[in-house]
Amino acid sequence: MLNTAPLYVGADVGASRTKVAILDASKTLVGYAVLKSGTDFTATARQCLMQSLQMAGALESAVANAVSTGYGRHNVDFARDSRTEIGCHGGGCYHYFPVAISIIDIGGQDNKVIKLDEAGRRISFKMNRKCAAGTGAFLEEMSARLDIPLEGMNDLAAQSTDMVKLGSFCTVFSATEVLENIRHGKKIEDIVKGVFFSVIRRVLEMDSLSQNVVMTGGVVAHNPHLVQMMEELIGRPIRVPEKPQLTGAIGAALYAMNAADERD
């Protein structure tokens, strides 16, 4: 049976992945899709929409409103409005954790630290400077250097017993350090854990964190060990939404819902 309820769509077109989330009127996630963004953002976003609608068992005509976000936010042909990913990640996280929070989002090419107060209002935000260190792109580069699949890094890091620390800020210099460690016979799993540690250090340099910390983004979704390492480093538990890669898209869908409500 077709889902005919008014549906709200959020499309997060990131530099690496495009994510679409569909919420129903009760703010339940009824459909979603994640695809590589590729070079045609418009086509990829639409493909994600179609897959999400299929999951929701709905036709496009059931969509009451759609909002886009992310680097490709102006390339989404079914979106009526756009918001920045800062706003959408904030909204998406607050939906799941309605308290004062610091959000760490680790994406394909940028990191964000967003602080919200207890009412969900943004207090501040920081994005990484013009450098890929500490982002998903850094992990991709390192997996290529180590000749291991990206999706295998998490399990390897978890096996480490003697982490190798990488000193450099720079992705290219870090790669040189990785090669040097291989030459000195260090174990791959210890190097991978060092790579994860480097990501964490770059993020923690960006801003101070409030008591409640939430982590999101594709890197977090695929590397839970990184969250565990971060918890050990900051000395408190970190909250992760069920679908950490989708929080930006969910935040955009919530904006779509609020905008539709304001129109009504």
Partner 1 sequence: MPEEKKVVRKKIAAAADLNNFMRDYYLELDAAAQKGAPKIAWCTSVGPAEILRAFGFQVYFPETHSAMLGATRMATEFIPEANAIGYSPDICSYLTADIGAFLKGVTPLEKAFNIKSVPKPDVLVFNTNQCRDVQDWFNWYGEKFDAPVLGVHTYRGVSEVTEKHIYSIAKQLEALVPPLEKITGRKFKLDDLKRAVALSRECSELWKKILDTASAKPAPLTFFDGTTLMGPAVVGRGTQKAVDVYKILLAELEDRIKKGEGAIENEKFRIYWDGMPVWGRLSTHSQLFAALNANVLASTYCNSWIFSALDPQDPFNSMARAYTELFIVRADEAKETYIKNMLAFFKVDGIIYHDAKTCPNNSNCRYGMPQRLEKQTGIPSLTINGDLNDLRMISDEQTKTNVEAFIEQLQERRHA
- Judge residue 26's burial from the number of C-beta atoms within 10 Å of its C-beta, 0-12 exposed, 13-18 middle, 19 or more buried: exposed
Q: Which is nearer to partner 1, 42 or 47 (CB)?
A: 42
Q: How many helices (H) and strands (E) does the chain have?
A: 9, 10
* Block residue for tokens 């003697």: 162
115 binds partner 1 (CB under 8 A): no
Per CB under 8 A, the list member of 6, 35, 51, 81 interacting with partner 1 is 81
Please check whether residue 173 is in contact with residue 198, taking contact to mean a CB–CB distance below 8 angstroms: no
Q: Which is nearer to partner 1, 74 or 165 (CB)?
A: 74
Residue 46: half-sphere exposure toward Cβ, Cα within 13 Å: 7
Q: Which of 260, 247, 264 is nearest to 95 (CA)?
A: 247
Q: Which is nearer to partner 1, 227 or 253 (CB)?
A: 253
Stretch binding partner 1 (CB under 8 A), from 30-38, 73-81, 94-102, 241-249: 73-81
Q: Which is nearer to partner 1, 5 or 131 (CB)?
A: 131
122 binds partner 1 (CB under 8 A): yes
52 binds partner 1 (CB under 8 A): no
The phi and psi torsions of 59 (rounded to 5 degrees) equal -100, 160
Per CB under 8 A, the list member of 76, 104, 146, 227 interacting with partner 1 is 76
Q: Which residues bind partner 1 (CB under 8 A)?
A: 42, 68, 71, 73-77, 79-87, 110, 119, 121-122, 124-125, 127, 129-130
